[in-house]
Structure 1
Amino acid sequence: MDLVGRAAALYALPLDGFVAARNLAAKEAAQGGDKDLAATLRKLPKPSSAAWLVNLLVSRRREEVEQVLELAASLREAQSSPDRAQLHALGQQRQRLLAAVARQSLDAASEAGHDVGPAALPDVEQTLRAALADPAAAEAVLTGRLVRTLEATGWEAVDLDGAVGGPFDAPARPVDDADDANDTDDANDTDDADDSTDSRGRGGAEDARRPGRASPQKRSAAGRRVAEATARAARDALESAQDEAARTERAVQRIATRRDGLTATLEDLEDRIGALRRELADLDEEAAERRREQESAQEALEGAEQADRTARSSLADLDP
């Protein structure tokens, strides 16, 4: 396996075992005589929690991630609409889509045997949003080797410096992608979308002159593709949530059954302890009675011994 394959495998491993697995892989490479590979593996940085979730999502849900990222062009076409209501709806659809896909990362973690809380989900969504805005960021995500999360900052290209563990050559970024990234970022914020719509909507001629303006038919088709993808992601998220709810319910039932069993055992033990305490009290009482009898017997013995000595002494006095 080459460096890229080894690195991708490492970044899909449980987060708490990354360092040990990385060091072991480097050691094996060194023992195999590949010192350069060993040195490179040893330098691979441990990913953040959110980056690890994105890597796990790519590893276990790659098809879903690819389908979402393929919608980038459709999103850009749909966002070229001058209709404020459409932009608002699109922003909401995209947010639902990203949220649904991001939640699948928790499902992927659960499948891997790790229950992860939702605290990292905003960073996962932010990374997916950056991947939608910038093709280079999308390529970085699809490596499955993210070290940190990504962020789209409007006009600027997504910063990928040090974002990927191991070799990564970002694809050339088209000149107009900066505009697309900004448009995509605007659609996530309703107020920004409305403001930009106002500025773009002052006159149909201005809209017509804007480069890259999609026709109403294309915008409608693009919007439908986005809506369908959102519906699929929501359906997948619902099914995953239902499966998780069923799994949790089974776990709760197992715990309840185990608890009932332990409660019954505890009650039996408490009954047994009560019986033993009563038996111990009876034995203590009997022992006290036997001590009193022993004391009486000892007194009788001492009296008998004294009487015996007195009798012997008297008998001796009678002898001539």
Structure 2
Amino acid sequence: MDIENDGSAPADDTLLADRVDESTQVDAGDEPEPADTGTDEPEGDQDAGDDAGDADEHEGDEDDEQPRRKKASGSERLKRRLAAAEAELATLRSRVPSDGGVTLADVRAEIGDPPREEDFGTDYAAYDRARTAYEIDARQTFRQLQRRAVEAHNAHHAALREQVEAHQERVEEFAEKVPDFATTLKKASRDGLKASPIVERLVIESDSSAHLLYHLAKNPERLDRLNRMSEREATREIGRIEARLTLPTQKTTTKAPPPKTPPKGGASAVPDPSKMTMEQYRKWREARKG
């Protein structure tokens, strides 16, 4: 089983790498302005000097406003990154196995809750770094937990296969001792008898699984009660049934030797009319009359 999520992970890895690179890059608008070369403006052009002074003053105003624009730009970038992070978390949720595998709660139990923006005040950069680090850790933890879940799932199914194989061996041995075992199960199947998943698992796990199967097929009302019990109640009831199980008594055929034939010659035995059939009796009567 592939735990890399059918090719969707590389796209998310690229997304995460882009966010990491973006947090470390310098914006083009943040590049330092060219340094002053020290060249004096030509003297005698008063208007040019005044214009230059006005330009310097205006440039100073822009320098005063520049930090505010930088802060707003950083906030916008952070919002975009957080939106991308939420999209990634939604993608992780979609990868959670439908059979109850890894959840985000499992990830948080391993690495804790994500950083909160209010804990960083106005230090957006620190919050951004903490959030990015958390996302990387969450991704790695998610995959580790998912790998463990897959391994546990496979181990469970391997153990179940072994139990089923052992159950089949017990069925074959039991069928040799009980001649009507196969016919009893076929009748139960035709009647629509079916064990609940809990009862089925408890029966297969039992060392007397074949005998339990036969007993429940013979007693459908008991199977119906078991199907409506909780797992704990069914476990106790099956234990009580196991303690009372006995093999059915089979009809034994006598091994006495056949009766000896009367010796030939001599006086023949006198027939008993009470043990004759009507045809034998008729012939016997006619023989006596003749």
TM-score range, shorter chain: under 0.3
| TM-score with structure 2 setting the length | 0.26
Q: Which has the larger radius of gyration?
A: 2
- Which structure would you say has the larger RCO, counting Cα contacts within 8 Å and 6 or more residues apart? 1
Q: Counting helix residues as a fraction of each chain, which structure ranks higher?
A: 1
